[in-house]
């Protein structure tokens, strides 16, 4: 009997893993379908039905995963976050927090590279969809907070909130450069990002603050 119960537990566990894997595959198919649709026909003309057809699934299949176009878009941002955060940030004892943020945001641009056409079209269309723009803006701030946390910079409190918002602004300004940067080494993008981060680095706290350590208690006061 014990063996039977163990077998059922193992079967249930395998079933959950298979279900989670299938759900992850569906999410990726839907996100990729959305990006292809944006690149081809733009954000405003793209419907949920179009995304379902592109993904090769019924509308009900899409509905079970995402309930709106904005939700699919935020799912894309989350996927980029996970790609950036998959590997820890390498640090040196005398490294500035700004350098860690720079590395993470350049990772982000690398992860976005296959989707440049869709992002360029999205940048033109999204301002004309206020609700989707608000959702995207909230998702961006969420992403930037996690970028700072991964760099060892607290994203909470007054100084943290300001740092998140300033980083988001620096990222969006650099994104406009990146969209038109055809250089093999992204030198113009790196220069633009470095320049903008230098302008806000005082909000990042102590140069010796490493991820995993308690923040410098005097950093907020100095800022």
Question: For the segment 176-198, what is each residue's pLDDT rounded down to a tens digit?
Answer: 999 999 999 999 999 999 999 99
CATH class of 1-67: mainly alpha
> What token pair was written down for 180?
């038109």
Average pLDDT rounded to a whole number, residues 42-58:
97
The answer, yes or no, to whether residue 135 has pLDDT greater than 60, is yes
Question: pLDDT tier at 79 (50, 70, 90 boundaries)?
Answer: very high
Q: Which residues contact 184 (CB under 8 A, 6 or more apart)?
A: none
Q: Is 179 left (phi over 0), alpha (psi -120 to 50) or beta?
A: alpha
Average pLDDT rounded to a whole number, residues 18-32:
81
Of 3-12, 22-31, 45-54, 185-194, the range with the lowest mean pLDDT is 3-12
In this prediction, residue 214 carries a pLDDT of: 42
The answer, yes or no, to whether residue 208 has pLDDT greater than 90, is no
Q: What angle do CA 144, 148, 150 make, to 5 degrees?
A: 115
Domains 1-67 and 69-223 share a fold: no
Mean pLDDT of the chain: 87
Cα separations in angstroms, 199 against 51, 107, 108: 41, 20, 20
- Count Cβ atoms within 10 A of the Cβ of residue 130 and give its class: 0-12 exposed, 13-18 middle, 19 or more buried: exposed
H/E stretch holding 208 reads none
In this prediction, residue 219 carries a pLDDT of: 39
The answer, yes or no, to whether residue 215 has pLDDT greater than 80, is no
Q: How far apart are CA 49 and CA 60, in angstroms?
A: 10
Q: How far apart are CA 22 and CA 199, in angstroms?
A: 44
Domain ranges of the chain: 1-67, 69-223
Options 1.10.10, 1.10.357, 3.30.70, 3.30.110; CATH for 69-223 is 1.10.357
In this prediction, residue 93 carries a pLDDT of: 74
> What token pair was written down for 96?
């500035």
Q: How far apart are CA 65 and CA 26, in angstroms?
A: 8
In this prediction, residue 10 carries a pLDDT of: 62
Question: For the segment 136-187, what is each residue's pLDDT rounded down to a tens digit?
Answer: 999 999 999 999 999 999 999 999 999 999 999 999 999 999 999 999 999 9
> What token pair was written down for 82?
């996970």
In this prediction, residue 23 carries a pLDDT of: 65
In this prediction, residue 88 carries a pLDDT of: 87
């Amino acid at each position: 009997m014990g063996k039977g119960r163990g077998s059922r537990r193992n079967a249930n566990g395998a079933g959950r893993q298979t279900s989670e894997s299938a759900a992850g595959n569906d999410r990726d198919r839907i996100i990729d379908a959305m990006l292809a649709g944006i690149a081809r026909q733009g954000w405003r003309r793209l419907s949920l039905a179009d995304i379902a057809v592109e993904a090769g699934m019924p509308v009900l299949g899409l509905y079970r995963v995402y309930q709106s176009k904005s939700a699919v878009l935020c799912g894309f941002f989350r996927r980029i976050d996970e790609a950036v955060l998959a590997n820890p940030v390498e640090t040196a004892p005398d490294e500035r927090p700004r350098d860690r943020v720079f590395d993470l945001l350049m990772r982000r641009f690398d992860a976005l590279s296959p989707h440049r056409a869709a992002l360029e079209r999205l940048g033109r269309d999204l301002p004309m969809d206020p609700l989707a723009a608000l959702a995207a803006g909230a998702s961006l701030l969420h992403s930037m907070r996690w970028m700072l946390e991964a760099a060892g910079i607290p994203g909470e409190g007054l100084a943290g909130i300001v740092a998140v918002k300033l980083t988001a602004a620096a990222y969006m300004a650099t994104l406009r450069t990146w969209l038109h940067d055809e250089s093999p080494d992204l030198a113009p993008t790196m220069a633009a990002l470095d320049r903008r981060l230098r302008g806000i680095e005082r909000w990042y706290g102590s140069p010796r603050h490493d991820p995993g350590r308690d923040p410098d208690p005097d950093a907020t006061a100095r800022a």
